[in-house]
Structure 1
């Protein structure tokens, strides 16, 4: 084993955390694997920071993870040394007798390998330490897809994003009007029906993609899937960008099909709701005024169509300090990317 194998250590840490009571499933595991494959975790410190972001929802959990991390890394190094030692034991160095003594007859030629194999077997029969056997982990029946926000919580939150208009079928019984009409007439003739309300809300999602947002791709995918296919929002537009939404954004998450931002905004009106999802430089602690100015221009462009706009940041609020996110949070309502943050963002864009 090499000095540092991120996926192997990742698996061992995952199993250890599950045994210690962390609420982790395959969704969290695959999110971490994607982060490693995306370039995060090139060294131990960077991998530890990424796992703290993905798997811990409080400072207490981060402290527990860091303690367990040191133990797992130390065990991994010990196992590597034991494996090397066992390999050396299984292949003993040749002795002088192996070269000087020659079998006098063909019969001894047949028996000599058996004796050597027996000696090797006797030496290797005493392991330095019992082999590592991971404990069986009972998989959850329903895996959560992210450490702070599950699909179920997303679906529940989208119910509060609405613009109801009574223009559906007239088949809903209006009890109050029916009673009032019967009281005026002095007798009951027929019930009063009203039109069914429909949700005519329009939501625009602007999602930062790749780079420092790579560990959060699983979340943004679930966010798009739930709002498109598991909500009653009538119109949903999704556009992707990298770092800053410029004159052109992208239709797809792979950033291969550009589309003019003005074309996307032209679909909006004063009742449209806009959610921006980006770390705004908080993941790496950057404060770049060029990025702030570019985002400020985009925010002004959006506000020409609608003022119902909010920002979801996947980084904890304490990480916004001394980064571009701190400045941008004064320009647009910004909330952390968790259950409470999503609810607050929806409350803002609901108006």
Structure 2
């Protein structure tokens, strides 16, 4: 790579990676060029792949993306063989060993005597009931090297959730307080050293409540990708992830619905104050919903000021409106508010499908945003206390 312009395969690689959402720039290309000029990644296509992954990937998802794109790009083979020096050629020849006739030579080992007994060799038997291997052409189709592609990249998720911050100074003093140091020097006239203060640390805590199975099944992988990247790059003090199905409890007290003046109205404003906070039911520590824990126990462990993000379709995936589910959802949100949590709702279903569903009514009482880049920004703003105004806050 001695020319100013990058080779065609590098240009094609960069274009494909940018289409996948990786912001590969000029500095990244120059870094790759310097590494190749230094002899790194030129041994084979696998070495070049490892070099690109090491230079450009910032997460496991980006590593898979780079490997999948490289599988479809034809990487040239560099000739790294160098001429062997004369010294190496001579060094490879073994010198002849001369023996002194006066020195006694060791007796040669006795020849191996063949045994009359036949050796017990293992017998190979054909396995019955085993299916044959599928036929193959022996060729590798690079277009079939697939990697998961989600609407949100790892970088977008990381950059969004790093905005959830609550910086507080605590710990060992490690930063210089310039103002206090100058003030003490002007008052005393003697410099006795800088005044140190603790560094700012992000004390934000996040509680993720994720709806699983049922209508959320098509969005399961996307939501897990979101949760994985939040854990990986959120840089929060603590992140607790719990799962549920529709609601933590399947039993909802719907007695307040009989007090509605219009039983056919989907709005619960007349009885909104009569719905009591409810921490009944169970949450689960795993996506398979096999490790239950009481909802009340989870709330007892919450530190006041924790940001709670609920990820659920709220009935929008099926396009249904269930007043019983709406009552249970409001009771759950009130229980989180009672535990001094800021609450935001993230809906993986597109917002144009919310009207006429339970999600539309939930959005009247709690900030709800779609699972998009702009939607995540609005959700983080709501968790920071700067969310949009809602129609009927709880």
Q: Do both proteins adopt the same fold according to a TM-score greater than 0.5, normalized to the shorter chain?
A: yes
Residue number among 290, 293, 309 corresponding to 2:324 in the alignment: 290
- 5 Å-filtered alignment, 1:119-134, equals none
Q: Distance in 2 between matches of 1:325 and 1:201?
A: 27
- Deviation of 1:309 (Å): 0.4
Q: Distance in 2 between matches of 1:181 and 1:159?
A: 36
Name the SS of the counterpart of 1:196 in structure 2. strand
Evaluate the alpha carbon distance shift between residue 22 and residue 159 of structure 1 in structure 2; reply closer, same or farther with a 3 A threshold: closer
Name the SS of the counterpart of 1:169 in structure 2. strand
1:203 aligns with 2:206: yes
Name the SS of the counterpart of 1:274 in structure 2. strand
Q: Distance in 2 between matches of 1:174 and 1:158?
A: 29
TM-score (norm 1): 0.57
Residue number among 213, 224, 231 corresponding to 2:227 in the alignment: 224
**Is the helix fraction higher in 1 or 2?**
1
Q: Distance in 2 between matches of 1:169 and 1:218?
A: 41
Q: Distance in 1 between matches of 2:199 and 2:18?
A: 45
Structure 2: gaps spanning 5 or more residues:
1-16, 22-140, 250-280, 386-394
Residue number among 327, 342, 345 corresponding to 2:376 in the alignment: 342
- Deviation of 1:185 (Å): 3.2
Query: Which residue of the partner structure matches residue 307 of structure 2?
Result: 273
Residue number among 358, 377, 388 corresponding to 1:324 in the alignment: 358
Evaluate the alpha carbon distance shift between residue 137 and residue 185 of structure 1 in structure 2; reply closer, same or farther with a 3 A threshold: farther
Task: State whether residues 287 and 323 of structure 1, in contact with CA within 8 Å, keep that contact through their aligned partners in structure 2.
Answer: yes
1:146 aligns with 2:187: no
- Deviation of 1:278 (Å): 0.5
Name the SS of the counterpart of 1:203 in structure 2. strand
Q: Distance in 1 between matches of 2:302 and 2:149?
A: 31
Structure 1: gaps spanning 5 or more residues:
1-20, 26-134
- Deviation of 1:218 (Å): 2.0
Q: Distance in 1 between matches of 2:172 and 2:219?
A: 41
Evaluate the alpha carbon distance shift between residue 230 and residue 307 of structure 1 in structure 2; reply closer, same or farther with a 3 A threshold: closer
1:241 aligns with 2:244: yes
Evaluate the alpha carbon distance shift between residue 22 and residue 322 of structure 1 in structure 2; reply closer, same or farther with a 3 A threshold: farther
Task: State whether residues 145 and 151 of structure 1, in contact with CA within 8 Å, keep that contact through their aligned partners in structure 2.
Answer: no
- 5 Å-filtered alignment, 1:1-351, equals 23=19, 145-147=149-151, 149-186=152-189, 188-246=191-249, 247-351=281-385
Name the SS of the counterpart of 1:332 in structure 2. coil
Structure 1 range deviating more: 158-167 or 253-262: 158-167
Q: Paired residues, what number?
A: 221
Greater gyration radius: 2
Q: Distance in 1 between matches of 2:185 and 2:149?
A: 53
Task: State whether residues 280 and 324 of structure 1, in contact with CA within 8 Å, keep that contact through their aligned partners in structure 2.
Answer: yes
- Deviation of 1:144 (Å): 7.0
Deviations 1:237-290 (A, max 9, x none): 111011223211211100111111111111123311100001111112111112
Structure 1 range deviating more: 149-158 or 179-188: 179-188
- Deviation of 1:22 (Å): 11
- Deviation of 1:308 (Å): 0.5
| Runs of 4+ residues deviating >6 angstroms | none
- Deviation of 1:195 (Å): 0.6
- Deviation of 1:179 (Å): 2.7
Q: Distance in 2 between matches of 1:139 and 1:316?
A: 30
Evaluate the alpha carbon distance shift between residue 160 and residue 321 of structure 1 in structure 2; reply closer, same or farther with a 3 A threshold: same
Q: Distance in 2 between matches of 1:213 and 1:270?
A: 29
Task: State whether residues 145 and 219 of structure 1, in contact with CA within 8 Å, keep that contact through their aligned partners in structure 2.
Answer: no
Name the SS of the counterpart of 2:241 in structure 1. strand
Q: Distance in 2 between matches of 1:146 and 1:178?
A: 51
Deviations 1:208-230 (A, max 9, x none): 11122122222222222223232
- Deviation of 1:138 (Å): 10
Q: Distance in 2 between matches of 1:309 and 1:294?
A: 15
Deviations 1:65-96 (A, max 9, x none): xxxxxxxxxxxxxxxxxxxxxxxxxxxxxxxx
